[in-house]
Each structure stands twice: as C-alpha cells, then as structure tokens.
Amino acid sequence: MQQRTYLDHAASAPLRPEAVAAMTAELTRVGNPSSLHTSGRAARRVVEESREVIAAALGAAPSEVIFTSGATEADNLILKGAFRARSEPSRLLIPRSEHHAVLDSVESLTTEGAVPELLDVDRQGMVDAEQLAALLADRPETIAVVSIMWANNETGVVQPIREFAELARRSGVLFHTDAVQAAGAIPIDFAADGPDALSVTAHKLGGPVGVGALLARKELKLAPIQHGGGQERDLRSGTLDVAGIAGFAAAIAVARQQMSAETARLRALRSRLVDGVLGTQGATGIDGSSLNGSRSPEHSLPGIANVSFAGCQADNLLLLLDQAGIDSSAGSACTAGVSEPSHVLMAMGHSVEQARSSVRFSLGHTSTEADVDHLLRVLPEAVERARRAG
C-alpha cells in the first residue's frame, strides 16, 4: 500500500506516542472519577494531575480548566453561557473570519435577542483594531462577550490577542479566544496574555479526538448549557473521559516541551513549501499561485500555508492530490462536504473564484522534508490537470 503524505494536521494531527501510552494505561481502569470509593479516587487523581499539566502548559491555574468534549463545545459554552448569564439581551462582537463554532453559536442566539456585530479583517486576515476599539467604546455595558480566534484554522494568521484582550479589559468586557490552532504551536500564557476565557482541543496537537477544555477565570458568570451531575464547576455536567484527558495532558506537555525546536523546523518546512509553490527564493514555482495570509513569523503559524491556484477548482485539485497519495484540504474540516467558498477568504476580500481555488497545506509533528518534496513534485501536474478539468 502506498505510504501517504499527510498535510492536514490543522484538521486533526496524528496521535503522539506519548498520548497513546497515557491513554493505554488508563483504558482498563475501573471507577468513575466522581465516585468516592478507592477506584473512583484513583481515576480522579489522574484527572486532576492531567488538569495541572494542561494548566501549566497554557499558563493557567488548574481551577480555570473546564474539561469539554472539544473546542466546539467550549466555544458554545462560553458564548451561550456568557450571554444567558445576563439579564438583558446583549451584543456579541466577533470577526467575520471566525470558525463556525463561534459564528453559528452567535447566530443561534439571535432568537434569544442577541445582537451580533461583525468585525472586519484586512487582506492579510488581521482584525481591524480601530473598529474593535470603537465598538468597545460604544456602550460597553451592553456587550456580553468579544471572541477573536488566536490563529485562523484556514490561513494560519495570528492575531495580537494580548492587545485585543487589553482593549476589552479597559472596557470591562469579557474577552474570549478560540486557541485551537495556536495551542501547542506558539507560546500561550493565559494569565499574562489576558483573555478571560480560551478554548482548546486535544486532537489538533497530537491528542485524542473527543476531549478539550475551556479555560475560564473563576470570577466569570456563566450559565451552563449542559445540565446533570454538576461536574466541572457545575458548568459542564457529564462523566469525565479519564483516558482521553490523560492523552490530552500527555500530548500538550510534549508539544510545549518541543515547541521552540518544532517552531523552527516547521517554519523552515513551510518556507520550503511556499517558495516551491510561489517560485520565490529561486524556485520554479507554479504560475497563477498566491499565498493567502502572511509570511511574517509574527502573524502566521509555523505550519499552515493556504494557497490559491488561479483557474483551478480546489475540489478537483484535492482529488488529484489524493490520488497521488497526498492528504490536504480546501479549508476547515468542520465544513467538509459543503460546497461553499471559504467564508474566511471571502471576509479577507477575495473573490468567489479565488476562494474556490484555494487549498490548505498544514504541517505538524510528523511532517518531513520528504513530505514537502513529494508535494512539490506532483503539484505542478496536478494543478495543470485540475485547470483543464475546470
């Protein structure tokens, strides 16, 4: 069987060996972590020790870590929880380029009186800071939450979260960031960076699917969106997944430990890929290709490159690359199968044609130079065939 080249880490990263080992050790454990007997207390110890590891990796206090089934649930919890905890209908400020877990959560609240206010982004995908400041200055007491993604899942564009959190703090407004792509890829210090809440998930950084967390400051007033046994500060009821949480902790600990070296390695791989596609730094390149986002280390993740190929339908190109043994995507895996142009690229001012011609290549802890070279060997012919087909 042909060995595949996996360039879709932003959708889901392969499990790290450390996570597999941690989960395997817990899969045969008996005992509910909420039970008071010896087996239950042993399971609870694993949960709490894992909570401490995750908190330390993200610069938070253990009491601020609320386990969820993933970042989608964490986003729903903070947005709906913050809105419903208020006595009056209120405004929610989010960029047009946010993940659908945020956009659709906010849209669902309009039936309850929520007023969404969408922030613009520029051609690089950066949030308009002046517009944010102006909205925060306008009746801040009516704003339930501001939510801005730390790093975009389609383009890898990194926002100045510390600056935005400070703007919100001065106005007395709750500030949340979806840090799914940022966690494990760039330094995060929940205490120092200043957000009031932060969403993260395990499977983007080499942990298991089905477990994540909302980091939320203790003083936040949130209404639970899931009711039951009162676990996780009475905000997220449900029996905790001990094995998944252990795998989450193992993965984030390794990602944090290796971050400095991995950042340098992945930035070099990304530059190799981008230069090879665009024809920069002496490379041949592919005519009609352009990078969506930024090459600046300050404003981009080390491992995501989103590229448009003029005159090419991304769906056709993805199928041709798949046939050549390469896994990549046209954007968020959460909207896979939905034939719509990327809302992220449209928000950045790209045309429908440009948005439909864009492919995301995302590198991670298993990526190698051989993976990038394989892509660069087969991509020119694949693009040409896709253009003829389109």
* Res 1: pLDDT: 47
Question: Rounded to whole angstroms, how far apart are CA atoms 295 and 299?
Answer: 7
**In contact, 321 and 314? CB cutoff 8 Å:** no
Interval 208-224: pLDDT, tens: 999 999 999 999 999 99
Q: How crowded is residue 170: how many other Cβ atoms within 10 Å of its Cβ? A: 12
* Res 27: pLDDT: 96
The residue extents of the domains of the chain are: 5-13+259-389, 17-257
HSE at residue 23, side-chain half, CA atoms within 13 A, is: 19
Q: Which two tokens stand for residue 22?
A: 């941690």
Question: Rounded to whole angstroms, how far apart are CA atoms 360 and 366?
Answer: 17
Q: Which two tokens stand for residue 251?
A: 């993965």
Q: What is the mean pLDDT of residues 366-386?
A: 98
Bridge partners of residue 300, in order along the sequence: 157
Q: What is the mean pLDDT of the chain?
A: 96
CATH architecture of the domain 17-257 equals 3-Layer(aba) Sandwich (3.40)
pLDDT at 343 over 80: yes
Question: Rounded to whole angstroms, how far apart are CA atoms 91 and 99?
Answer: 18
Return the CATH superfamily for domain 5-13+259-389: Aspartate Aminotransferase, domain 1 (3.90.1150.10)
Catalytic residue among 85, 186, 334, 378: 334
334 labelled catalytic:
yes
In 111-174, which ranges are E strands?
Answer: 115-119, 143-147
Does this chain's domain 5-13+259-389 share its CATH topology with 17-257? Answer: no
* Residue in 15, 12, 10, 6 with CA at minimum distance from that of residue 207: 15
Interval 148-194: pLDDT, tens: 999 999 999 999 999 999 999 999 999 999 999 999 999 999 999 99
User: Which band of pLDDT confidence, cut at 50, 70 and 90, is reported for residue 284?
Assistant: confident
Q: Tokens 């080390």 identify what position?
A: 302
